[in-house]
Structure 1
Amino acid sequence: MPDQAQRLRQLVQEWERRRKKRTIAITSGKGGVGKTNIAANLALALHEQGYAVTLLDADLGLANLDVVLGITPPYTLGQVVQRECSLIDIVHCAYGVKVVAGGSGLEELATLPDSELLYLFHDAAQIDSDFFLIDTGAGISPKVTSVALAAQEVVVVTTPEPTALTDAYALIKVLTRKNANLTLHLVVNRASNKKEAQQVTSNFCRVAKDFLSVTVNPLGYIPEDRLLRSAVHRQQPLLLSFPSAPAAEQLRVIAASLAGTVCPSVYGSGLRGFLGRLRSLFR
């Protein structure tokens, strides 16, 4: 579906600027690698560092960002698709972060036509934030890759497991075939120690460079941390449940690293740029 991969990249041009606005998709080659937890806690870490953040759950049909955050928003993307309200109406504030909750168990979201996906994000440019983080679904389905390609930057989450690394590589291969200039970042989750994380990161980035001619920016790693599992059971973000946990410290390091990177501007920055890229993929 090259058409779809071309039409979801252009839905308006420049977002209003006070600071540089950035739209970042957080994705993974396979499920179960901790992508949604990382998205939620990165949003909180960026907020801690003084940034205005919006977090959108774009795992259409299987959304669970609200569960990770321990919130029960009155409306989700499901109501937007059913024309019961606009996207602006469903923005929910949690822990200082603006959250747009997805809809879980809704077949109409999982099988959303391209035109409906555009409608879904139509009002999104009105949301004012420094960072617009999008938690996508996992894998290489057209819906996942279209949303990822519409962002300025993509954070790929993996674990040291061979299956996760293989799927992360496949995802990057698919994305860069459609946009060779995409800015890519890598986060290694559940690393046994720093040495393992560095080795996995180094090998992955080298292989991507050698075989795909793609530069992947290593953002950092998150150690295996039992406190993260405890936070999940509490249905509360790690940064709030256990702010001094080793994984929480590394998430703050990753957020600082992400905030310090220079983002490219092709279609414009921020959410309007995201919408512009989204529209171009549907042309």
Structure 2
Amino acid sequence: MSDQADKLREIINDLKKQQLTKQLSTENVLEKRKCRVITVTSGKGGVGKTNISVNLALNLSKMGYRVVILDADLGLANIDILFGISPHYTLLDVINNNKTIFDILSDGPMNVKFISGGSGIEEMVHLEKWQLEALIEKVASLDKVADIIIVDTGAGISENVISFVLAADEIILVTTPEPTSIMDAYALVKTVSLKDRDKIIQLVVNRADNEKEAISVMNKLTLAAEAFLGVKLKQLGYVLYDTNVVKAVKRQEPFILSYPKSLVSRQLNEIAHKLMQVDQNSMKRSSGIKGFFRKLANLNNA
């Protein structure tokens, strides 16, 4: 009986060790996993950048990803308007009012969450080093609850916008077929390339009249960037002009919820799927939200 009891204890101990090893391995993977931070930007205002950000986020959530939007448009924060939701707190409350990052997360449709940056982003520049480190540690908690963080920036090539673009792992550049929009998009690519030639910039053409026009704009920008800047843009896709988008904005509802079967919703869905078709090396290069805010702080204090 003693031998049988010893054998039983040995088996139980082995099972416990295996369980502990598996648990530690899982915790290690979770600790190392970092979310993808994708900045959505444009060279010119009024091109539908925020609409792309919101509807892209919803599509990604529908695909099973945990998505958070950071509204970093300092001048015209519109995420809350498109969602029809007023956030109670902003990033400034994390800095000044001892709120956690989870306190300021607002619930949007389809499990998408969003954060209003507000004046908290500008305030980062004036923080003491210890305050900045405390903020970064608080924000880092998002890496555990999000797979993708979409940062909706302001438009143009101001210092603030370029800082957000340079801090992100990936960039989605939105333009329309208007000549001024194309030129401003090129100017943004040029500004970024002078500071970081290795940035992944993915191009979306919005409000094109037809497929031929959209492809023509993508090809022109791609060829110009490669020929004159030595930058290879990735063509992520296009969204044709659709009156349903305007109707949805008036209803303060994302168009993929108002008109899920419309052409514009199908095209955004294609863009979302293409965005997620990335190689493993791209995933490994992700620095997560903690890395994003650290880079942003370094750029702002340079």
Q: TM-score range by the shorter chain?
A: 0.7 to 0.9
Match of 1:41 in 2: 55
Match of 2:91 in 1: 77
Query: In angstroms, what is the RMSD of aligned CA positions?
Result: 2.3
Letter in 2 for 1:99: F
When normalised by structure 1's length, the TM-score is 0.86
CA–CA separation in structure 2 for the residues paired with 1:250 and 1:169: 24
Alpha-carbon shift at residue 110 of structure 1 (Å)? 7.8
CA–CA separation in structure 2 for the residues paired with 1:185 and 1:15: 28
CA–CA separation in structure 2 for the residues paired with 1:77 and 1:113: 10
Runs of 4+ in structure 1 displaced over 6 angstroms? none
Match of 2:31 in 1: 16
Number of matched pairs: 265
Map 1:50-129 → 2, pairs under 5 A = 50-83=64-97, 85-95=99-109, 96-103=111-118, 108=119, 112=123, 114-116=125-127, 122-127=137-142, 128-129=145-146
Rate the CA distance shift 1:268–1:250 in 2: closer, same or farther, 3 A.
Answer: closer
Q: Which has the larger radius of gyration?
A: 2
Letter in 1 for 2:296: L
State yes or no: 1:190 paired with 2:207.
Answer: yes
Alpha-carbon shift at residue 129 of structure 1 (Å)? 1.1
Identify which of 145, 163, 176 aligns with 2:193.
Answer: 176
Q: Secondary structure at the match of 2:69?
A: strand
CA–CA separation in structure 2 for the residues paired with 1:266 and 1:208: 26
Rate the CA distance shift 1:112–1:154 in 2: closer, same or farther, 3 A.
Answer: same
Letter in 1 for 2:125: D
Identity %: 44
Letter in 2 for 1:65: I
- Structure 1: which 5+ runs fail to align? 1-13
- Structure 2: which 5+ runs fail to align? 1-28
Q: Secondary structure at the match of 2:113?
A: strand
Mapped contact 1:267–1:276 kept (Cα < 8 A): no
Letter in 2 for 1:131: I
Mapped contact 1:37–1:237 kept (Cα < 8 A): yes
